[in-house]
Amino acid sequence: MQYIDVGNENSGTIKLYYEDHGAGKPVVLIHGWPLSGRSWEKQVPVLLEAGYRVITYDRRGFGDSSKPTSGYDYDTFAGDLDKLMTQLDLRDAALVGFSMGGGEVARYLGTHGSKRVSKAVFIAAIPPFFLKTADNPAGVDNSVFDGIKKALAADRPAFLSQFFSNFYNLDVFKGKLISDEVVRLSWNIASAASPKGTLDCVSAWLTDFRKDLARIDVPTLVIHGDADRIVPLAASGQRTHETVKGSRLVVVKGAPHGLNWTHAKEMNRELLDFLGQKAQSAEKLENAQKAR
C-alpha cells in the first residue's frame, strides 16, 4: 500500500493512502463524502484504457488513510492535495472532484494556483457556496446541516443508510441502475470512516469557494444531475458554471447525486471528451461560447 505523510498528531504520523496507475497525462480523482477512492470504480478502468495515468487517494479520516481528530477543513484538505501533487511531481494534471471533492479542486486552485494543473472538473460538487446567507440566497438553510450533525451524532450508521437512499435515488433506480450490493458496499466504506471526521466535514461543506472559483484559469467542466437530492443543481453546479469563466456545464437528465455509478456511461463519455480536448485558455473558451 502506498502512503504519503501529510502531518502529525501527537506521536503518530498522518498518512494519506493513494493509488497511482497507468501512464500518460495524470488525472487526479478526489472522492466525495463519506466514501473513499474506491468510489471511482466505474471511472478508473475507463481512464486507464484511454491512456491516462490515474491517481486516487483517500481524504484524511476516510478509506485507508489515517484518521486524526483534526484537520477537517478545506485549507488543510487543499494542503494535503498539494503534498500529494508535489511528492508525485504531477504536472499538466487534471483535477476531478466529486461532491465534497469539488471543494479540494476549488481551494487548491484558489490557493496554490494552476502551475501543476491543466484542467478542472466538478462532478455533483458543493461549490460555490452551499450555505444560505444574506448575500447567498440560493444556498441551503443552516438548519439542514444542523439536522445532519445531530443525526450523525445520534446514530451514524442509521443516518448513512438513509443518506445513501437519497444519494442514489433508490426509489427510482434500485434494481435498475444500482444493486443492493453496491449500496451495501457504499455503506461499508462510509461506516469505516472516522466518526469525528465524518461529522466535522459537515461544517467544512459550508466553506465559501466563490473567490477560489473566480481565480480558476484552466479549462473547466461541470457535470451535474438534474435529480440530485444531496447537492441540488441550482444551488451548486449551475452557479459554479456561471462563476468560472468559460466553463462548460453538462446536465445529466434524471441523474442522482451518485451519478458516477448510476449514470457512469454518460458521465464517463463527457469526462473523456473533455480530457481529450486540446488545452485552451479560459478566455478563449469564454469567447468561443459567446460566439455560439
Q: Active site residue: 31, 241, 257, 263, which one?
A: 257
228 catalytic? Reply is yes
Beta carbons of 238 and 124 less than 8 angstroms apart: no
Q: What 3-state class would DSSP assign to 98?
A: strand
Q: What are the counts of helices (DSSP H) followed by strands (DSSP E) for the chain? A: 12, 8
Q: Active site residue: 228, 241, 247, 263, which one?
A: 228
Cα separation values, 89 from 5, 12, 19, 165, 187, Å: 15, 25, 14, 39, 34
- C-alpha of 4 from chain center: 20
Burial of 276 (0-12, 13-18, 19+ CB in 10 A): exposed
Q: Active site residue: 39, 99, 186, 236, which one?
A: 99
Beta carbons of 128 and 235 less than 8 angstroms apart: no
Determine the angle formed by the axes of helices 101-112 and 74-87, rounding to 10 degrees.
Answer: 70
Cell, residue 175:
434494481
Beta carbons of 99 and 122 less than 8 angstroms apart: no
99 catalytic? Reply is yes
Beta carbons of 139 and 133 less than 8 angstroms apart: yes
Active site residues: 99, 228, 257
